[in-house]
Structure 1
Amino acid sequence: MTTTMDRLAETEKTMRGFVEQGVIPGAIIAWRDGDGPVRYQAAGTLGFDRSTPVDERSIFRIYSQSKPITAIAAMMLMEEGIIQIDQPISEILPAFADMRVMVGEDPADTRPAARPITIRHLLTHTAGFGMGGMTLDALYTEHGITPGDPQTETGPKSLAEMGERLATLPLATDPGTQFDYSVALDVLGLVIQVASGMPFDTFLQQRLFGPLGMVDTGFSISPEKVDRFADLPEEQDGKWTLVDDPANSMYAAPVYPSGGGGLVSTAHDYARFAAMLLNEGELDGVRVVKPETVRLARSNLLPAAVKEVGLPVGHPLSEVGMGAGMSVSLADSSSTQGLFDWPGDVPAGVFGWPGMAGTACWMDPNRNFFLLYLTQFSPSWLNGAMRPDMIAAAYRDLQAAE
């Protein structure tokens, strides 16, 4: 489908409304419809107390939008035959060979896992791991496994140490039996590091970021880029404070590269990643992954026994499967104006994943359309209807143009 559409009027109005109401300091959307160019529209500034306007080179913490990038990196190794989707990860990371599963609430009360953890389980959050704020929160916090907080004093000092600690802890469920949002994509980063024979962040730079021209995407922020780095504000008792100040950011020197949530990026960069996926692995004449690999990545890869995806714990998503580190809409859905039914009002086949600070990217291969939305606020549930409102507005814009 080819189109000359160069505006998403209602989507832009919706985004601008959030800024004008003081809900967020600033935001940007990037989109491409059909074979047209990537377009951008921004509103507001990099912080409530800053005058620098948001643009396509502004740098944002994308948190869990790191997961699809990590997953695609793993798919690259898969198409090269270095790893396989149903391969036990213990063949690459021997420490995970004899995992145990909690019987009740006591981590000391365990039994052997029914089956090995596989690459598929990591890609789809069905390995039995947990994460901070969700399943196994207290256990992981006790052992310093909090990848979203890379500066924790008691935490591991390398990706390898993170894996070593995690392998000693019991699983919440047998692998392949339940979706639990988890540190699985951080473990996948370690798999990539060991299987490829190079540091995980180096692999991403050489195989994805460099070839795609993603010049501002990485796990740290350098001093010369701080003036483009957005504030991360948090509302507490009706007042805004800074969770992460760009001038003194935890991203200046992260302890290890978190494949599940450690990347920063820009609208320019992430739009190139999204466009590459819609182009089935190629961008501007550079192919980074095969078409069949992309099609597999955006298909439902959940193990047969897993029938439900929930985010967070206890909140099932309707008609949603999991591909490679990202959700896949299995049927046409309608917006419910709530966080727990992300991605909201979208047709079947739409894939992507959001980030903890309000960001999201939706990719629609049937229409050859993507919408990227970048902003920064905390906590993530504060404006639960924001992302569904944005994507619902985008599809109304598209329908109006037809």
Structure 2
Amino acid sequence: MINTLENFLNNMDKINSIGFEEGQGVTRLALSKEDMKARDCLIRIFKDMGLAVKIDSVGNIRAIKEGRDKNLSSVMVGSHIDTVPNGGKFDGLLGVVAGIEVLNRMIKKNTPHSRSIEVVIFSIEESSRFNFSTVGSKAMTGKIDVEDLKLHVDENGISIYEALIDRGYNPNNLKKYIINPQKIKAFLELHIEQGPILEKENIPIGIVEAIAAPIRLQIELEGEEAHSGGCPMNMRKDALVAASEIILGVEEVGNKEAIYKTVTTTGNCRTFPGAINVVPGKAELFVDIRGIDGESMRRALKGINNCIYNVSKKRNIKSHVKVLSREEPVKCSENMIKLIKSICNKLNIRHKIMASGAGHDTMNMSKVVPSALIFIPCKGGISHNMKEDVYLEHIKTGIDVLYETVLELAK
């Protein structure tokens, strides 16, 4: 088995050496020097394979193996290579390198195909740097404009727009690179589940029917700084204490909506001035609401807003809520689901129709072209963590299913 995956594993190791630190995992934040180095490495791999490479205004990379009939729409496969801080080795990168492996198999076997096949690397998928996710697929499908790129900034105040220009891209040409849906037959993404269900049920393949969407909030709380020894307890306007109540409120709202598979997370809390002997005058929270039920997500948003209002009023502090992004859950293509099911049955592979709690580039692609998301299990359901891992047999199974699906679509 290892021999059949030798080329795949070599490519994974090559890219995962970029941004890796022992005991710290992999950190390749979007448009960082590590991200750019990994992009260059993959472009060299593509060119060594004889593929044509195209790069658009936000850094999406498309490597193309031409089919016999250039007039036919193409089949697209891919994912992303940027990571969260101290992340794992498989989130995103698995789908890109699996796409490369599919083309390598076809090249070695000299497999004929009428449609062109593309491996795409979507730019800026993770929200870790700019608090805005799936930028590349949003740009490719016409879901964002230049003002969106200027609006979202990192912790140093650098916008996506500025970061793109700094890396040599031209985000002003955004509209030029929006795909024509008539020219894409289908999109496929292979990904680790990022949850425990497949491993727990001992099922090697998940076929996703619905993808959760995020609503992301930035909450600013303004109280009053005071001397920690001199200010009486009953006279304080402690922004951090208010934030702690809101954090618990966010969790309570999530628990109420859990029956509808909605989850709520406070992923970051920053305190100002952040000194041990000062009552915090300001606090900033970042909240992530996710779900596959739009009504449930809207109830969660309303519940969190009510909580913020009530806590702010009780503690006599000011609050401001900024919606960083708001998206709707999406359904994957029923025809694509049927096709992948038939391939799993042909290969005698156990599979499960399921939902994705995490967002992926597929959610944007599915709005304009028939799209599918294929999961393989990850050990312990762990992801966005340096302990993220998968079994080799599951990787092989996932690539086998991806390969057969691409072949069928590319006929």
Instruction: Quickly name the TM-score band, shorter chain normalised.
Output: under 0.3
Q: TM-score, normalised by structure 2?
A: 0.24
Q: Which structure: larger Rg?
A: 2
Higher helix content, 1 or 2: 2
Taking structure 1 as the reference length, what is the TM-score of the superposition? 0.25
Q: Give the strand-richer structure, 1 or 2.
A: 2
